[in-house]
Amino acid sequence: MNSEVKEICPLSHLNQPHVLLQRPGGNTESGCFSCGQRRSFVTSRGVHYYCTTCDVEFHRVCHKFPRKIRHPYHPQHPLTFTFRDNETGIISDTNTGESLWLALFSGSIIITDPNKLGSVQDIWSQSDKCSWCTKDIECNWFYRCSLCSFSLDLSCYKNIPLFQTVEKPKNHHHSLVFYARPLLTPCDACGLVNVLDPSYTCFQCNFMVHQSCMSLPRVIKITRHQHRLSHTLYIEAVTSPCRICYKPVDIKCGQYSCNQEDCSYVVHSKCATHEMVWDGKELEWEPEKSDESEDDTIPFTKVGSRFIKHFSHEHLLKRVKYDGVKDGEKQCQACTLPINSRDFYDCLQCVFSLHEVCAGLLRKIDHALHVHPLVLDLSPGSSCRYSQIGCSVCSRKFSGFKYKCSEKKCVCQEGFQIDVRCALVPDYFTHGSHDHPLFISTPYKGNNKICCNGCKEICMQSYLQCSVCNFAICYQCATIPNEINYKHDKHPLWLCYGEREDGMCYWCEVCEEKVIQTDWFYTCNECSTTIHTHCVSGPSVYLKPGFIFKYDPYMKPYEVFRNSISTRPPCDKCGHRCPSSVCYLDESYTKAWCSLNCLDPRSRPLPPRRHYPCYSKKLAN
């Protein structure tokens, strides 16, 4: 005897139920009939269900929505599980199995039971929008009251209040009662209006708070500030904006602020507790840890007046002046950029150099782009995997120093690491490409796609946004050097952030393609040299010659080899001469590849001018 519980299709009638069949995989093939998504919001593993009679699929959880419910958002009457055919406009009741109430055919309205409907226009308009959050009901399924035309979408249906009354709330001295109306005024704890979040009230104090804000932590620590922050419902007048989103702070609502004297740091409640900002630990009863000793953070010790002993190198490093003839080929081991100006530290016994700024990088820091402390990690070891040499912020491949999260239970499954160029970008600064200050934008869910004003690509990772207007740039563009040396120009080239179109025609000295005046490019005002930024800072510019890596664990290692006019070998994949400053050789030094794209066994060869990031993205689109 089969004791397995049979799952019933919610679209079928009670007298003639349809048994759901299981299909492997948590995600549906054509989209869940309930939530409209292919991907399951619970898990991507397991099974999903299929009804052969109705020809619809359901996620493992979506099909279990009850037919009739009593919901706190509408306690007067029960709500019935209802679905609407977006093509025909038929609104059907899954509880009775009737195709009921109204339908749209060829632009006309047909009323099947006028006594039950009341006003046709009101019913159709109210069934089109959720009566609680007033947003359009995009899903085919929703809950509806046939007596008063109250409609509730599935998002609001799931936000059921935990309690009718909270006797001893965490952040209030009176009991709180569930408020059975959308909270259309700012929450007293966070200052935001969010009708999707159930709300509670204290009538004695006229205190209104979201359900999610009742348990806000009292004391937290975020990596964007050196002191602990305390939550308070009312703060004194402040002149500074929120130090995360840089929007004004409402002093009448709850915020997080620093209690240290002469420290005016303040942030919004939701900004401070965002998953990309706070590590989730409440510190109200936790003693403060003592500051890190200098031995744990300082990167070097001075030896005399001109030498240092850096933790990354076995020899002493001497501070020397840059010589364009003698030091023209030297490269910083930390940021991998050329040593091209000012003072730097150099090893007199081997090939090892550091910029003065890079030599002073602390060994342990708190960074705004991650919730845990970061530790300075040296260059990747021998035969490092290709997937391990990418920056988590800008996605570029690099072989220099990096800051890495050492937390074992980090939310970043693949491990968070950031190259030193991105790590040196301040939280709030003025970039040369824009007049207003820029700040690190927190990637909130549901944000519109942001286009970088530098490369004109969509910002897929973290980015920097203007605090006044809609200007934004990605970290790849924010860390492009302002000045470079070009081997065929005796003057340094400066980064130009675009010009007004005046009919002038520029051509790139490297790829011989046209340079668009409004785009960023490098130029020499004395020699009229112009070069695309991507022709200078291609995908290989941050990989040091001699670096060895594996594309995957089962392939042979490749070595980054310095390229020059006399050593431009033909690419083994596309057949063209290697145009970049480096190429890639196999362990026998008999085969060469001109780019990371050609090195990828899954890719197809590209023309020489398309071996740069922007051309590859446009080709993929």
Q: With respect to residue 532, please indicate whether it lies within any of the assigned structural domains.
A: yes
Segment 401-412 shows an average pLDDT of 84
Q: How confident is the model at residue 170 (pLDDT cuts 50, 70, 90)?
A: confident
Asked if residues 57 and 25 have their Cβ atoms less than 8 Å apart, the reply is no
Q: Helix, strand, or coil here: 299? A: coil
Return the top range by mean pLDDT from 134-138, 162-166, 173-177.
173-177
Q: With respect to residue 560, please indicate whether it lies within any of the assigned structural domains.
A: yes
User: Does residue 151 surpass a pLDDT of 70?
Assistant: yes
Of residues 142 and 380, more confidently modeled: 142
Of residues 194 and 162, more confidently modeled: 194
Q: Is residue 372 located within the same domain as residue 336?
A: no
Q: With respect to residue 591, please indicate whether it lies within any of the assigned structural domains.
A: yes
Q: With respect to residue 343, please indicate whether it lies within any of the assigned structural domains.
A: yes
User: Does residue 295 surpass a pLDDT of 90?
Assistant: no
- Confidence at residue 4, expressed as pLDDT on a 0 to 100 scale: 62
| Domain-terminating residue out of 130, 158, 186 | 158
- Confidence at residue 574, expressed as pLDDT on a 0 to 100 scale: 85
- Please give the distance of CA 123 from its chain centroid, rounded to a whole number: 40
- Confidence at residue 495, expressed as pLDDT on a 0 to 100 scale: 93
Q: Is residue 369 located within the same domain as residue 349?
A: no
In terms of DSSP bridges, do strands 548-550 and 384-385 run parallel, antiparallel, or are they unpaired?
Answer: parallel
Of residues 63 and 507, more confidently modeled: 507
Give me the number of domains the chain comprises. Answer: 6
Beta carbons within 10 angstroms of residue 27's beta carbon:
18
- Confidence at residue 57, expressed as pLDDT on a 0 to 100 scale: 87
User: Does residue 98 surpass a pLDDT of 50?
Assistant: no
- Confidence at residue 565, expressed as pLDDT on a 0 to 100 scale: 63
Of residues 250 and 122, more confidently modeled: 250
- What is the Cα–Cα distance from 582 to 563, expressed in whole angstroms? 5
User: Does residue 119 surpass a pLDDT of 80?
Assistant: no
Segment 66-72 shows an average pLDDT of 79
Which residue type occupies 313? Answer: H
The DSSP call for residue 507 is E
User: Does residue 461 surpass a pLDDT of 90?
Assistant: no
- Confidence at residue 293, expressed as pLDDT on a 0 to 100 scale: 61
Q: Helix, strand, or coil here: 33? A: coil
Q: Is residue 311 located within the same domain as residue 370?
A: no
Q: How many residues does the chain have?
A: 621
Q: Is residue 377 located within the same domain as residue 453?
A: no
% pLDDT > 90, the chain: 28
Residue 413 structural domain: 364-423
Asked if residues 130 and 157 have their Cβ atoms less than 8 Å apart, the reply is no
Q: What are the distances in angstroms from CA 29 to CA 2, 50, 172, 613?
A: 29, 10, 48, 33
Segment 241-265 shows an average pLDDT of 90
CA angle 486, 492, 498 (to 5 degrees): 95
User: Does residue 615 surpass a pLDDT of 60?
Assistant: no
Q: 159 — phi, psi (to 5°)?
A: -85, 60
Contacting residues for 51 by C-beta, under 8 A, at least 6 apart: 9, 11, 12, 18, 20, 21, 57, 58
In 3-state terms the chain splits into helix, strand, coil percentages (rounded to 5) of 10, 30, 60
What HEC string does 500-540 produce?
CCCCCCEECCCCCCEECCCCCEEEECCCCEEEEHHHHCCCC
Q: Is residue 509 located within the same domain as residue 469?
A: no
Give the helix/strand (H/E) hosting 272. helix 269-272
Encode pLDDT of 520-558 as tens digits.
999 998 888 999 988 876 667 788 888 888 877 777 888
User: Does residue 313 surpass a pLDDT of 80?
Assistant: yes
Name the maximum alpha-carbon separation found in the chain: 97
- What is the Cα–Cα distance from 56 to 421, expressed in whole angstroms? 51
Q: With respect to residue 390, please indicate whether it lies within any of the assigned structural domains.
A: yes
Of residues 402 and 289, more confidently modeled: 402
Encode pLDDT of 228-242 as tens digits.
999 998 887 777 899
- Confidence at residue 576, expressed as pLDDT on a 0 to 100 scale: 81
User: Does residue 499 surpass a pLDDT of 60?
Assistant: yes
Q: Is residue 494 located within the same domain as residue 517?
A: yes
- Please give the distance of CA 563 from its chain centroid, rounded to a whole number: 35
Of residues 297 and 101, more confidently modeled: 297
Residue given tokens 């700012």 in the structure block: 186
Q: How confident is the model at residue 366 (pLDDT cuts 50, 70, 90)?
A: very high
- Confidence at residue 419, expressed as pLDDT on a 0 to 100 scale: 92
- Confidence at residue 102, expressed as pLDDT on a 0 to 100 scale: 32
- Confidence at residue 562, expressed as pLDDT on a 0 to 100 scale: 82
Q: With respect to residue 543, please indicate whether it lies within any of the assigned structural domains.
A: no
Asked if residues 286 and 233 have their Cβ atoms less than 8 Å apart, the reply is no
User: Does residue 2 surpass a pLDDT of 60?
Assistant: no
Residue given tokens 């301040």 in the structure block: 426
Tokens of 340: 């091209």
- Confidence at residue 177, expressed as pLDDT on a 0 to 100 scale: 93
User: Does residue 107 surpass a pLDDT of 50?
Assistant: no
Q: How confident is the model at residue 383 (pLDDT cuts 50, 70, 90)?
A: low
User: Does residue 156 surpass a pLDDT of 50?
Assistant: yes
- Name the pTM for this structure: 0.75
The residue among 400, 403, 401 whose CA lies nearest residue 543 is 400
- What is the Cα–Cα distance from 419 to 274, expressed in whole angstroms? 24
Q: Is residue 119 located within the same domain as residue 93?
A: yes
- Confidence at residue 37, expressed as pLDDT on a 0 to 100 scale: 63
- Average pLDDT for the chain: 81
- What is the Cα–Cα distance from 543 to 336, expressed in whole angstroms? 7
- What is the Cα–Cα distance from 148 to 325, expressed in whole angstroms? 85
User: Does residue 613 surpass a pLDDT of 50?
Assistant: no
Give the number of C-alpha atoms closer than 13 A to the C-alpha of residue 111, restricted to the C-beta side.
11
Exposure b/e, 50-81, CB count within 10 A at least 16 = b: bbeeeebbbbbbbbebebeeebebbeeebbbb
User: Does residue 141 surpass a pLDDT of 80?
Assistant: no
Rounded to the nearest 10°, the torsion over CA 208, 210, 216, 221 is: -100
Of residues 589 and 381, more confidently modeled: 589
- What is the Cα–Cα distance from 353 to 185, expressed in whole angstroms? 59
% pLDDT > 70, the chain: 83
Q: With respect to residue 8, please indicate whether it lies within any of the assigned structural domains.
A: no
Asked if residues 583 and 574 have their Cβ atoms less than 8 Å apart, the reply is no
Q: Is residue 149 located within the same domain as residue 79?
A: yes
User: Does residue 396 surpass a pLDDT of 80?
Assistant: yes
| Domain-terminating residue out of 119, 143, 158 | 158
Encode pLDDT of 38-59 as tens digits.
766 454 457 888 998 888 888 7
Asked if residues 539 and 596 have their Cβ atoms less than 8 Å apart, the reply is yes
Range in 60-74, 275-289, 296-310 with the lowest mean pLDDT: 60-74
Q: With respect to residue 203, please indicate whether it lies within any of the assigned structural domains.
A: no
Q: Is residue 98 located within the same domain as residue 123?
A: yes
Range in 117-131, 523-537, 597-611 with the lowest mean pLDDT: 117-131
Q: What are the distances in angstroms from CA 78 to CA 84, 151, 333, 575?
A: 19, 11, 69, 71
| Domain-terminating residue out of 515, 536, 557 | 536
Q: Is residue 470 located within the same domain as residue 444?
A: yes
In terms of DSSP bridges, do strands 207-210 and 199-202 run parallel, antiparallel, or are they unpaired?
Answer: antiparallel
Q: Is residue 298 located within the same domain as residue 337?
A: yes
Q: Is residue 499 located within the same domain as residue 516?
A: yes
User: Does residue 5 surpass a pLDDT of 50?
Assistant: yes
**365 burial via Cβ count (<10 Å: 0-12, 13-18, 19+):** middle
